[in-house]
Amino acid sequence: MVSLNALSETPKKLLSLTHPIGLPLNKFFLFLLLIPVTVSAQDYVDLVKIGFGRTFQNTFEETPGETQVQSVEADLTFPIVLNENNALISGLSYSRNHLQLAPNTTFVSLYSTTLKLGVATTFNDRWSTTIVALPKIASDYGNITGDDFYLGGFALLKYQKKERLIYRFGAYGSQEAFGFFTTPIIGWYYLSENQKFEMDVSLPIATDINYRFGALSVGLDYYGIGRSFNLTEAPTPQLYVDLSSLEFASYLQYNAFDRQVLLRGKLGYSSNNYEVYQQGETIDLGLSAFSFGDDRTRLNPVINGGFFFKFEAIYRFHLTPND
């Protein structure tokens, strides 16, 4: 799933800026159509975010053997300002997870490519909304068909309580190989007056809390995800992977070039569990951490969680002057 916080900037704030290279920002957004960008929380724009990660060891429950999960992630967004109250949101996110789904089997790569299509609207100085559709193709990409296509999306209502405090309310939903999954979203964004302490929260999906000490920042983050991948190269009967993941990490971040380039090293624990099922076996409903009507038969051993390391690189453009 893409970052919800990456799509929360208001058109009025975007239009009020001029890019450092000297272009008026409405022309700058036409330029952005030619390069990958990412929009992040309230006081900055993340133009590019790329991550590389690896778990140290994941054992199989009650079965000899172990595996490692190697991951690659990229999240890009193309915003197009229409007027002072409305902006189109488009973009792309990509991920690849490489692992063994069972002991003594070959490694498999699970890919997900998500298109982002939506609109951000500002009603007044207090209220704004973001609505985004998230169609995606998720499988091993061995033989892509219509079975690899899934449709999801989210909607957020945002209330600006104070200059540096914004509340979020919304919902996320997605049709997956295992059935329909949905979760409410409740959160907030807060930045201290000295711009050193930051909280970016969208429960139960993501949380990022950090404090800046000059060129270095320390932080804690959490990311919860549920999604599926079709196994196109699996033997008959066709199979799919149901991924449930909770990641908890601490990180050390180096803020380079006046905090425009962020280099982040993360160390944490992930409960990555890749469950294999036969195509057609579904649940009635997935609601946040709960599954209703789940009588599926799992076809692979439980994959235990493990510690992981991840490196992230971000290019950030600040919407307000830095201290």
pLDDT for position 143? 86
DSSP symbols for 110-164 = EEEEEEEEEEEEE-SSSEEEEEEEEEEEEE-SSS--GGGEEEEEEEEEEEEEETT
- Hunting for tokens 């380079």 — which residue is that? 256
Domain layout of the chain by residue ranges: 4-318
Q: CA-to-CA distance for 178 and 76, rounded, in angstroms?
A: 27
Classify the C-alpha dihedral 288-171-244-190 as positive or negative: negative
pLDDT for position 9? 57
Q: What is the pLDDT of residues 250-306, one digit of tens each?
A: 999 999 988 889 999 999 999 888 999 999 899 888 887 777 888 999 999 999 999
DSSP symbols for 203-229 = ETTEEEEEEEETTEEEEEEEEEEEEEE
Category of 102 on φ-ψ map: left (φ > 0), alpha (ψ -120 to 50) or beta? beta
Q: Give the list of residues 6+ apart from residue 218 with CB closer than 8 angstroms, or none.
A: 210, 211, 250, 251, 252, 253
Q: What is the pLDDT of residues 95-137, one digit of tens each?
A: 999 999 999 889 999 999 999 999 999 999 899 999 999 999 9
pLDDT for position 320? 61
Q: What are phi and psi of 130, to 5 degrees?
A: -135, 125
- Hunting for tokens 């985004």 — which residue is that? 132
Q: CA-to-CA distance for 102 and 15, rounded, in angstroms?
A: 52
Mean pLDDT of 221-226: 88
Query: Of the candidates 43, 90, 64, 84, which has an alpha carbon nearest to the alpha carbon of residue 317?
Result: 43
Q: How many secondary structure helices (H) and strands (E) does the chain include?
A: 2, 19
Q: Give the list of residues 6+ apart from residue 234 with CB closer than 8 angstroms, or none.
A: none
pLDDT for position 22? 39
Q: What is the pLDDT of residues 224-247, one digit of tens each?
A: 878 999 998 766 568 999 998 899
Whole-number mean pLDDT of the chain? 84
Query: Of the candidates 67, 64, 61, which has an alpha carbon nearest to the alpha carbon of residue 302?
Result: 61
pLDDT for position 190? 94
Q: What is the pLDDT of residues 13-67, one digit of tens each?
A: 555 443 433 344 443 443 333 332 233 335 676 778 999 999 998 999 888 889 9
Letter for the amino acid at 245? S
Q: What is the pLDDT of residues 24-38, one digit of tens each?
A: 444 344 333 333 223
- Hunting for tokens 């994959």 — which residue is that? 303
Three-state SS string across 228-274, please?
A: EEEECCCCCCCEEEEEEEEEEEEEEEEEECCCCEEEEEEEEEECCEE
Letter for the amino acid at 132? V
